[in-house]
Amino acid sequence: MAKLHILRYPDPRLHTVAKPVKEVDAHIQQLVDDMIETMHAADGLGLAATQVDVHERVIVIDTSDMRDDPRVLINPELVFKSEEMSFSDEGCLSVPQIFDKVKRHARVKVRALNRAGETYEFEAEGLLSVCVQHEMDHLLGKVFVEYLSSLKRDRIKTKMIKKTRDELRA
Ligand code: NI
């Protein structure tokens, strides 16, 4: 396994729209394993392939308490979205140390392929529902800060550019 580099906002590659996976082969399984390692190492709840500059529809999520139960979502689709919406604080490994409230569907039902390439479905609410919607946005080239006001977004952009520059200097 290998840890992958996570793109940081406002890297334009984060706005790439991912393509469906044609076949869950050894190459995709390796990507999945590397993404899980990268997510756990960065202490994230989820990671989309877009964030590691691979533009295929692959997501990993781990909202388990022990951080030992990763879910793999390949070619995910929402087969149900509740009309009820809810607000919660979101963060993102591509936008470190920034948290803000985003409105999402309170409950969703997801259909995806797992690491073995088998179709499965699950219903999600609460944190898992938020994670699924957040990560699926990444596959469409959308970062959560795009739900915020342009004023806030510009501030975050400036902060991230400065942070990246400071780290390169250090
Ligand atoms: Ni994210």
Distance 116 CA to ligand 1 centre (A): 24
- Tell me, what's the pLDDT at 170? 78
Answer yes or no: is pLDDT of 115 > 90: yes
Banded model confidence at residue 139, pLDDT cuts 50, 70, 90: very high
Catalytic-role residue among 90, 118, 125, 135: 135
- Tell me, what's the pLDDT at 66? 92
Which tens digit of pLDDT belongs to each residue from 67-83? 999 999 999 999 999 99
Q: What is the amino acid identity at position 138?
A: H
Distance 147 CA to ligand 1 centre (A): 13
Distance 81 CA to ligand 1 centre (A): 20
What does the pLDDT average to over 8-15? Answer: 97
Banded model confidence at residue 168, pLDDT cuts 50, 70, 90: confident
Distance 88 CA to ligand 1 centre (A): 14
Contact between residue 112 and residue 77 where contact means Cβ atoms under 8 Å apart: yes
56 is catalytic: no
Residue 131 structure tokens? 């994670």
Angle at 117 between CA 115 and CA 118, to 5 degrees: 105
Distance 137 CA to ligand 1 centre (A): 8
DSSP H stretches of helix in the chain: 26-41, 126-139, 150-169
Answer yes or no: is pLDDT of 26 > 90: yes
3-class secondary-structure state, position 46: strand
Cα–Cα distance, 43 to 78 (Å, whole number)? 26
Answer yes or no: is pLDDT of 146 > 80: yes
Answer yes or no: is pLDDT of 1 > 80: no
Banded model confidence at residue 2, pLDDT cuts 50, 70, 90: confident
